[in-house]
Structure 1
């Protein structure tokens, strides 16, 4: 599982760089969203079939497709310091919107970020860009 998450983060990092949305706190949030969605697919849905990133003028959309139609369940109150149950809370806090849709024998769990957050977000590594 860690290899798939790392590959997904690398793919996302490169896309953000190609789109000029790297080096902001929101770009780091985007990488964490990808990690959470991929980890959830690995732990609860037999793994990720596809990671899709799409962007238009207003929104970056992250979709993780897996091979089960079972919808994710957000734990009502994850306990601090206890592993598990935190992933969808993180997705909810870092994204502007998130949800799911089923199709055939699978589903996609998606999260969206407003592109203005990526374009004008706080710089995470001020001056580190070369």
Structure 2
């Protein structure tokens, strides 16, 4: 009779990335839809929950949701309209990205007068995420932000 194998010595394969896509072309209320979609993914993946009892977890979730709001709003305002939101969890890192139809990469503006509207979106993304950037697409770009756990 064969002895059972001890599981403590077995290496389980690392889970692959979790990816969620939300089409936003011609959607009414894309910022709200993107926030709700992202909040659902964060809670399902247990990465951060905006309704958690732990204030640090709530704050982490709110930071991600604010960045999603800014990425989608910037795509609407400066990118010719938002096409898609992609939320990816790969290991301990979370990446959110908004794709639009403008090929020109975004430029981080110098911080302006906080009492004046406009020009603060990428500053928010820059300050709240660990890193951010843009990736060219065949007909536009994806502006993304990365958060480590």
Question: What's the CA shift for 1:2?
Answer: 7.3
Determine the C-alpha separation between the residues in 1 that align with 2:139 and 2:73: 20
The structure with the largest alpha-carbon Rg is 2
Match of 2:145 in 1: 111
Residues 65-84 of structure 1 aligned to structure 2 (within 5 Å):
65-84=99-118
2:135 to 72, 83, 101: 101
How many residue pairs get aligned? The number is 115
Question: What's the CA shift for 1:66?
Answer: 0.7
Uncovered stretches (5+) of structure 1, i.e. residues with no partner: 116-130
Determine the C-alpha separation between the residues in 2 that align with 1:34 and 1:72: 15
Question: What's the CA shift for 1:58?
Answer: 2.1
Question: What's the CA shift for 1:80?
Answer: 1.9
| TM-score after normalising by structure 1 | 0.84
Question: Structure 1 runs of 4+ off > 4 angstroms?
Answer: none
Higher helix share: 1
Secondary structure of 1:72 counterpart: coil
Uncovered stretches (5+) of structure 2, i.e. residues with no partner: 1-26
**Higher RCO structure (Cα 8 Å, ≥6 apart):** 1
Question: What's the CA shift for 1:6?
Answer: 0.2
Match of 1:3 in 2: 29
